[in-house]
Amino acid sequence: MDGHRPPRIYLIAGEASGDLHGANLVRELLRIDPGIQVRAWGGDRLAGAGADVVKHYRDLAFMGFTQVVMNLRTILRNMRWCREDIRAYAPDLLVLVDYPGFNLRIADWAHAQGIRVVYYISPQLWAWKPGRIDTVKRAVERMITILPFEQAWYAARGVQVDHVGHPLLDALPAEAGAPRATAASSPIALLPGSRRQEIERVLPVMLAAARRHPHERFVIAAAPAVPRELYARIIGDAPVELRSGGAHGLLAEAKAALVTSGTATLETALFGVPEVVCYSGGPINVWLARRLIRVPFISLVNLIMEREVVPELIQQDLNADRLSTELDRLLNDSEHRARMLADLAELRRKLGGPGASARAAALVWKSLDGGTKAA
């Protein structure tokens, strides 16, 4: 690190969850050293935390194999621009947040340029493309993991990692997960995802299920980077509300939730809200996934608990009949609901307490300040 100028970090987060966790990481880094300069790919949260955001994740979120192929020219152009921007910025450290398809390629390139790389929030190599472990070994100086089983997975493959706990526990309000009473008027949260493709596939099914529960109140958590016109077109005259400002306020009052697979499934669980996990992908994506993905569940809730805690409706199982039936169980089967609430409380205990963002920032600072010595 050049002592004649402030330390520089280049951070790449390509999705909404990475924007959230990257923002909390930057806040903690600035507490350690207010002079740190962070140039980033991310979103509004990273910008609000003090990073200079030069590329918004809404321009990067291509979901699934077919979307990647269709947008390959844009992805390659983004990658070229990224490399040029990193080279011009000359960071002391490159910090990559999840987003593996793009970030692992950048890691390999950066390592070849002599740029040191820290990876925060491990790619899910244990589920998809485990051969990428070779790239991690070659190019990543420090891997920081957030899921309890990842440390053992890496250790079995000869890679030393730092486990910090899950940063969602830092992002949630203190009262999240506390037992609370729900009323008949409490809403059912609809979280259809943060990317246009998944919203277009999943939200219509959620709305069809909602129509079968005319006495319930349904509220959609609008993703910040998605135009409201998209929601309006899909919603039509369906009896639902659309709420901006993030999902936390909605989850704090919800009595149940229908959630697209992703980080939101864990977020919902940590609020102590019973949920049904939904996933629908293009036929090529699903065909590939069934042959390549090596885990028994798609939701982080079930993966962490190593058993089915929340129901997962995938592909043809995601239809109005099944979704309505599972929602009815959440609302009216008291034994099923009580068992799920107990499991969600156990999940929260398993993940530990808050402080992951501060622990990760301390590790990044050590890499920035002194190379690869252990924290």
SS3 state at 22? helix
Note the pTM of the prediction, 2 decimals.
0.81
Encoded amino acid at 218, one letter: F
The pLDDT profile of the chain, 375 residues, written as one tens digit per residue, is 555 789 999 999 988 889 999 999 999 999 999 999 999 999 999 999 999 999 998 876 544 444 554 556 777 888 999 999 999 999 999 999 998 889 999 999 999 999 999 999 998 888 778 889 999 999 999 999 999 889 999 999 988 899 999 999 988 887 787 777 788 889 999 999 988 889 999 999 999 999 999 999 999 999 988 999 999 999 999 999 999 988 999 999 999 999 998 889 999 999 999 999 999 876 555 544 554 455 678 899 999 999 999 999 998 899 999 999 999 999 999 999 999 999 999 999 999 889 999 999 999 999 987 643 333
CA 62 to chain centre: 14
Q: How far is CA 147 from CA 121, 160, 167, 267, 272, in A?
A: 9, 15, 10, 14, 19
Q: What residue ranges define each of the domains in the chain, with the CATH number in brackets?
A: 8-167+355-370 (3.40.50.2000), 188-351 (3.40.50.2000)
Contact 192, 220 (CB under 8 A): yes
Encoded amino acid at 185, one letter: S
